[in-house]
Amino acid sequence: MKNTTLCYIEKDGCYLMLHRIKKEHDVNRDKWIGIGGHAEFGESPEECISREIREETGLLPLKLSYRGIVTFVYGDEGEYMHLFTCDKFMGSLTDCDEGVLEWVPKEKFGEIDMWEGDYIFLDLIEDKTRPFFSLKLEYADGARLSRAVLDRNEIKLPYKSKLSKAPEVQKKAETKKDSTPPDTKAKKLDIYTDGSCRKNPGPGGWGAVLVYDGREMEISGGEADTTNNRMELTAVIEALGKLKAPCEVTLTTDSKYVCDGITKGWAAGWRKKGWKKGDGSPALNPDLWEKLLKLCEVHTVKFVWVKGHAGHPYNERCDEMAQAQSGKYL
């Protein structure tokens, strides 16, 4: 488990937040987060966060309070994040190459985009009666918080933060949700996909069948120079991209790469690490995984693996389309 640090610097009822908008393949892209980063070899948590504050903000922390430790689990990877607050510092803000620094009033936190788990530990550091805590956060399907445990006690999800929304806004949102007409609920459908590549890498193709209410739609495509895994991913992305509204999807594929990448949280973990694997090597096909993770945030997708070329009718049909498309580039 790697070690990271995070600090919320406070001034006049505001926290200094970093809006991560500058790096293209940043796992925190477009999110608002506190100040921090990865610990270097031999650094203590205090040494790490002091260095990160200086490097990211130009400020010199004069008083740090060690408030808690957050255990993150995403797929088969994880990290220990050491959480600090700081209310005494000196210096002037400088530009940060990872995003834009801004003092955000606490009452405005419901208007910015943060990770769901961040609201939990922000509420905890606001609680002055709790000097230290241990929080465990488990993420699934890219960005969905699936479990939260505070000092060995389960937290009910979805979490309602004191900072995220005023009570009257929450009540209004819940009332609106309860009054939603039945005909606007998410549609349920089945999707079957397959990808193919000759020589791998080489000419490739993909095929997909969407089945809803007894009706079928077939789509397919190909590329002159690609890989089998890219075609498998493309088939899923193109099929989900056909949906015009959030849906409940059962997606059947013969690709362990695609299925395990989502269901075991591998892709979410790679994205969180800046598209790096556990051993530090680059994760392949980050452009396609990014698209798929975003689609899985829009739709509720259940991935089902089947053995290829084993007589499954829709899998065989998708394979036929993929082979036909790859043949166009020979």
Read off the CATH number of the domain in which 225 is found: 3.30.420.10
Q: What is the pLDDT of residue 180?
A: 36
| Same domain? 274 vs 143 | no
Q: What is the pLDDT of residue 172?
A: 37
| Same domain? 11 vs 142 | yes
User: Is residue 190 flagged as an active site residue?
Assistant: no
Q: What is the pLDDT of residue 159?
A: 85
Structural domain boundaries, residue 316: 187-327
| Same domain? 20 vs 138 | yes
Please give the tally of structural domains in the chain. 2
The catalytic position among 40, 127, 241, 309 is: 309
Closest to 28 measured CA to CA, from 114, 137, 109: 114
Going by DSSP bridges, is the β-strand pair 247-253/187-197 parallel, antiparallel, or unpaired?
parallel
| Same domain? 167 vs 206 | no
| Same domain? 7 vs 155 | yes
Alpha-carbon span 283 to 192, nearest angstrom: 25
The catalytic position among 194, 204, 205, 265 is: 194
| Same domain? 166 vs 197 | no
The pTM of this model reads 0.53
User: Is residue 195 flagged as an active site residue?
Assistant: yes
| Same domain? 272 vs 154 | no
| Same domain? 30 vs 159 | yes
Q: What is the pLDDT of residue 283?
A: 94
The catalytic position among 36, 195, 204, 222 is: 195
Q: What is the pLDDT of residue 185?
A: 55
| Same domain? 303 vs 253 | yes
Question: Would you say residue 176 lies in a domain?
Answer: no
Q: Is the Cα torsion angle 151, 155, 161, 162 positive or negative in sign?
A: negative
Last residue of a domain, one of 171, 196, 223: 171
What CATH number corresponds to the domain at position 68?
A: 3.90.79.10
Alpha-carbon span 218 to 315, nearest angstrom: 12
User: Is residue 216 flagged as an active site residue?
Assistant: no
The catalytic position among 98, 118, 138, 319 is: 319
| Same domain? 200 vs 246 | yes
Last residue of a domain, one of 107, 140, 171: 171
User: Is residue 154 flagged as an active site residue?
Assistant: no
The catalytic position among 254, 261, 269, 290 is: 254
| Same domain? 6 vs 152 | yes
**Tens-binned pLDDT, residue by residue, of the chain (330 aa):** 899 999 999 999 999 999 988 876 777 888 999 999 999 999 999 999 999 999 999 999 999 999 999 999 987 788 999 999 999 999 999 999 888 999 999 988 888 889 889 999 999 999 889 999 999 999 886 678 899 999 989 999 888 887 754 333 333 333 333 333 334 357 899 999 999 999 899 999 999 999 998 889 999 999 999 999 999 999 999 999 999 889 999 999 999 999 999 999 999 999 988 999 888 899 999 999 999 999 999 999 999 999 998 999 999 999 999 999 999 998
Q: What is the pLDDT of residue 142?
A: 62
Q: What is the pLDDT of residue 307?
A: 93
The catalytic position among 205, 232, 261, 265 is: 232
Question: Would you say residue 321 lies in a domain?
Answer: yes
User: Is residue 183 flagged as an active site residue?
Assistant: no
User: Is residue 319 flagged as an active site residue?
Assistant: yes
Alpha-carbon span 143 to 293, nearest angstrom: 8
